């Protein structure tokens, strides 16, 4: 499979050789903002990255526009998350008729389960993010052989930053008393974070933004918060937060602010890059849960 894909990429490269050299930069399309951030960090100024789902967008329920098909058709490389995150993507790829190479950033990640399906939010663990970056680096090197060393250096530097970030998160979590390492959140997007760093995320709603809770579910959450003395409740930046606030009020838990999970926020927001996002999240957690 790998060999076949490499051959395909080579073929695509040869076919697309002229535009590549005419423009100078590799055209890459990422499915959403977090992946785009990774690509920028590895590709530097040798790549021209577009993100299909923009800042503050919801990648689960994105509905592609005709413009997106065109963007993909013009690209040399498409970076997707996989693990079932982008249900809308296969048809888009097909209808765009693009000859771009496709790389699944989560390849090699040990997937967790969410209900009966895979949990797609693998990037929440920084170690997984490093796997993503490695996959992206390899794909970029294949797509643009001329800049191999450039990509490798960037990736090395960025991976070092991610290592430091990982250590930072672990240190911060260590400062939280063990019995307080649990929070309520609306979005079941932190499974990987939970597994990697040991903070339990309890959610009243399902993964997507579509499901509606029963009164029994809400009562159960409230009972659990009271019983387990869960200290904090967190909101999410893309859905209605009133239910979470209600739970916080009725249980006396702290309202911890917003955690960012599925998208970056753009320049002016609190989470303009992946590293900033993770830092923001862990700071929000420690300030709500700290001793």
Partner 1 sequence: MSIHDALVAPFLDFEFMRRALAAVIALSLAGAPIGVFLMLRRMSLVGDAMAHAILPGAAIGFLLSGLNLFAMTTGGLIAGFTVAILAGLVSRTTGLKEDASLATFYLASLALGVSIVSLKGSNIDLLHVLFGNILAMDDQTLLVIAANATITLIVLAVIYRPLVIESVDPLFLRTVSRAGAPAHLIFLALVVINLVNGFQALGTLLAVGLMILPAGIARFWSRDITGLICIAVVSALMSGYAGLVLSFQTRLPSGPAIILVAAGLYMASVLFGSVGGLVRQLFPGRHLEA
What residue ranges bind partner 1 (CB under 8 A)? 53-58, 61-63, 65, 209-219, 222, 238-240, 242-243, 245-247, 249-250
> 188 φ, ψ to 5°?
-80, 60
d(CA 272, CA 286): 20
249-284: b or e for each residue (b if 16 or more CB lie within 10 Å)? eebebbebbbbbbbbbbeeebbbbbbbbbbbbbbeb
98 vs 186, beta carbon nearer partner 1:
186
Query: From the CB of 13, what's the least distance to partner 1, in Å?
Result: 31
156 vs 211, beta carbon nearer partner 1:
211
d(CA 258, CA 193): 16
Query: From the CB of 86, what's the least distance to partner 1, in Å?
Result: 12
Q: Any idea which residue has 């999970």 for tokens?
A: 261
d(CA 130, CA 263): 18
Query: From the CB of 32, what's the least distance to partner 1, in Å?
Result: 10
55 vs 194, beta carbon nearer partner 1:
55
175 vs 229, beta carbon nearer partner 1:
229
137 vs 280, beta carbon nearer partner 1:
280
200-202 and 77-80 as β-strands: parallel, antiparallel, unpaired?
Answer: unpaired
Query: From the CB of 217, what's the least distance to partner 1, in Å?
Result: 7
80 vs 169, beta carbon nearer partner 1:
80
Query: From the CB of 250, what's the least distance to partner 1, in Å?
Result: 5
Query: From the CB of 258, what's the least distance to partner 1, in Å?
Result: 11
Query: From the CB of 245, what's the least distance to partner 1, in Å?
Result: 6
91 vs 245, beta carbon nearer partner 1:
245
d(CA 135, CA 106): 8
d(CA 171, CA 174): 5
What is the distance, to the nearest Å, from the Cα of residue 267 to the centroid of all Cα atoms in its chain?
A: 17
Residue (of 180, 182, 175, 169) closest to 282 by Cα position = 169
Residue (of 99, 44, 46) closest to 77 by Cα position = 99
């Amino acid at each position: 499979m790998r060999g076949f894909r490499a051959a395909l990429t080579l073929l695509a490269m040869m076919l697309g050789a002229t535009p590549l050299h005419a423009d100078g930069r590799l055209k890459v399309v990422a499915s959403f903002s977090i992946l785009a951030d990774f690509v920028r960090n590895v590709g530097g100024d040798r790549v021209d990255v577009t993100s299909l789902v923009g800042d503050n967008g919801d990648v689960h329920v994105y509905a592609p526009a005709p413009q997106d098909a065109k963007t993909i058709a013009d690209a040399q490389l498409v970076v997707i998350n996989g693990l079932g995150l982008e249900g809308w993507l296969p048809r888009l790829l097909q209808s765009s008729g693009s000859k771009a190479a496709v790389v699944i950033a989560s390849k090699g990640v040990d997937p967790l389960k969410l209900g009966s399906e895979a949990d797609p939010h693998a990037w929440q663990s920084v170690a997984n993010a490093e796997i993503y970056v490695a996959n992206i680096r390899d794909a970029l090197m294949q797509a643009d052989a001329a800049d191999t060393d450039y990509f490798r250096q960037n990736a090395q530097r960025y991976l070092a930053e991610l290592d430091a970030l990982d250590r930072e998160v672990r240190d911060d979590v260590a400062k939280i008393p063990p019995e307080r390492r649990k929070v309520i959140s609306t979005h079941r997007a932190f499974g990987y974070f939970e597994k990697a760093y040991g903070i339990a995320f309890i959610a009243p709603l399902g993964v997507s933004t579509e499901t509606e809770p029963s009164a029994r579910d809400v009562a159960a959450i409230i009972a659990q918060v009271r019983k387990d003395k869960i200290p904090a409740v967190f909101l999410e930046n893309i859905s209605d937060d009133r239910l979470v606030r209600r739970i916080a009020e009725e249980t006396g838990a702290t309202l911890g602010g917003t955690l960012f999970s599925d998208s970056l926020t753009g320049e002016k927001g609190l989470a303009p890059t992946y590293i900033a996002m993770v830092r923001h999240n862990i700071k929000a957690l420690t300030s709500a849960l700290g001793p």
